Amino acid sequence: MNETGTGGGQVRLETLMNDSHEELTHSGVNGERMARRLYELSKIGLTEDGGSNRISFTKEEKEAKNLAKLWMEEAGLTVKEDGAGNVIGRLEGASSKAVVMSGSHLDSVPNGGHFDGPLGVLAAIEVAQAWKDTDFVPEKSYEVVVFTDEEGARFNSGLTGSRAITGTLDPDEKRTLTDADGKLFEDVMQENGLSLSSIKEAARDFTDVDAFVEVHIEQGKKLEKEDLPVGVVQGIAGPSWLDVTFTGAAGHAGNTPMDDRTDALVAAGIFIAEIEKLPSRFSPSAVATVGKVNVKPNGVNVIAGEVQMTVDVRDIHEDTRNSLQEAIFAKACEIAEERNIEVTTKEIMSAPPVKVTEEMQQKAAAAVQKAVDREPYFLPSGAGHDAMIMGKKTSIAMLFTRSRDGISHNPAEWSSLNDCVHTVHALKHLLEDLCAT
C-alpha cells in the first residue's frame, strides 16, 4: 500500500494500528476494521498535501458515499438515498416503531482532514456491525445517516442534507447560489440526479424519531489537556455575525500630523484588542472573533478612512451571547467617540444555540464512563454540526473524540485509533440505552 505519514496526510494504516490496544476490540467492536475503513476513505479525494478534497456534489463525495453504502449493507442495514442525496441505512427494531439515528458527513473542505465527518459515519456503522456480529437486535429501529453537503464548501451554504431531512431548507435561497465555476446550485443538483423539488421531498416525519446522536472530533484542545479520549457535548454554540464599520478621514501618511488624524484603522485595532477581553465576562463558553477586515483605501501611504469588519460571536447560551453582542456594540461606540470618528453596527446573521438536554447529557456521560472508566468530561461545541439542525426536530446528543493539537480542516488533523475506538464503545453503550424500550 502506498501510505503517507502520521496525520499530516492520508490516514496511515500502519500508524493507526501501531497506536491500537487489542483489548479495545471486544463486544463486536473491531479496531482494525475501523482503521482499514478510515484508510480506505482517506484515499478518496486525496490531495498533493495529503489532505482530503471531497467537496459536496462531486464524484469524490459520491464515491465515499457508495463505499459507506457497501459497509452499511455488510452491517445488515437496508440502504436508501433520499432526494437530497442523504444516505440512510436502517436496521429494523425487535418491537418498537420508534427510531434512533446516528451519523455525520463525508464531504470535506478543500484540502481538509480525514476525521472530520468520516469518524461519525464510521462509528455509527461500526455499532451496527458490532450488533450484527454479536447477534444483538435493538428494540427500537436504528438508522445510520450520511448527510450530504455539511461543510458547504462548494456553495458557501452548508448543512444541506440535515436541513432537507428536517424540512428546514429554503429551496429559494439555494436557487440563487453559484459555485466557483459559476454553476448554479440547481444545475449541479441535476448533474447528481437531484433537484430542488427532490430536496423538498427529502423531509421526513420525525414523530417516530426518538433521538439523534453524532460522533465528531473535538476540533479543539480541551480533551487533550484533560488527557481524555472522549467527552460529552453540552450544547452547540449559535453564531451571531456582527458588521462593524469605523469611518474616519483618509489622508496623506506623510503630510498629516499625528495629532490631526481620524484614523479608522487605529480605532479598529483598539476595538479588536478590546474584544478579546469581553467573552469571559459573560460566559466560560462564549467566544468572539474578528476574522475578516476590509480597509479603505488600503494604500501603503494613505491613512485609513474606513475599516469594515465582521465579528463572529458564539455561545451555547443565547442570553449570554446576546449580552456579549450588546457589550461589543457598546465598546465600538465608546472607542469611536474617544477617537472622534463615526461607527455603524448591525447584526447580519444569527442562529440560536442548541442545548443538549440534561437527560441526554447524563445518558451520554453514563455511556462514556462505561467505555473509558473515567469521570465524564463535559464541553461545548463552538462549531456547527448536523446535530444542531436535527435538534430542531428531536432530542440530540454528541460525543467528541480527542483531536491532536486541536487541529482540524487541515491535512494534519488526527485522532488516535484508540481514541476513536473508545468513542465507538461509548456510542454503542449510548445507542443501546436509547434503543431500549
Tell whether residue 252 is among the known ligand binding residues.
no
Tell whether residue 151 is among the known ligand binding residues.
yes
Tell whether residue 116 is among the known ligand binding residues.
yes
Three-state SS annotation for the chain = CCCCCCCCCCCCHHHHHHCCCHHHCECCECHHHHHHHHHHHHCCCECCCCCECCCCCCHHHHHHHHHHHHHHHHCCCEEEECCCCCEEEEECCCCCCCEEEEEEECCCCCCECCCCCHHHHHHHHHHHHHHHHCCCCCCCEEEEEEECCCCCCCCCCCCHHHHHHCCCCCHHHHHCCECCCCCEHHHHHHHCCCCHHHHHHCCCCCCCEEEEEEEEECCCCHHHHHCCCEEEEEEECEEEEEEEEEECCCEECCCCCHHHCCCHHHHHHHHHHHHCCCHHHCCCCCEEEEEEEEEECCCCCEECCEEEEEEEEEECCHHHHHHHHHHHHHHHHHHHHHHCCEEEEEEEEECCCEECCHHHHHHHHHHHHHHHCCCCCEEEECCCCHHHHHCCCCEEEEEEECCHHHCCCCCCCCCCHHHHHHHHHHHHHHHHHHCCC
What residues form the annotated binding site for Zn(2+)?
Answer: 105, 116, 151, 216, 409
What residues form the annotated binding site?
Answer: 105, 116, 151, 216, 409
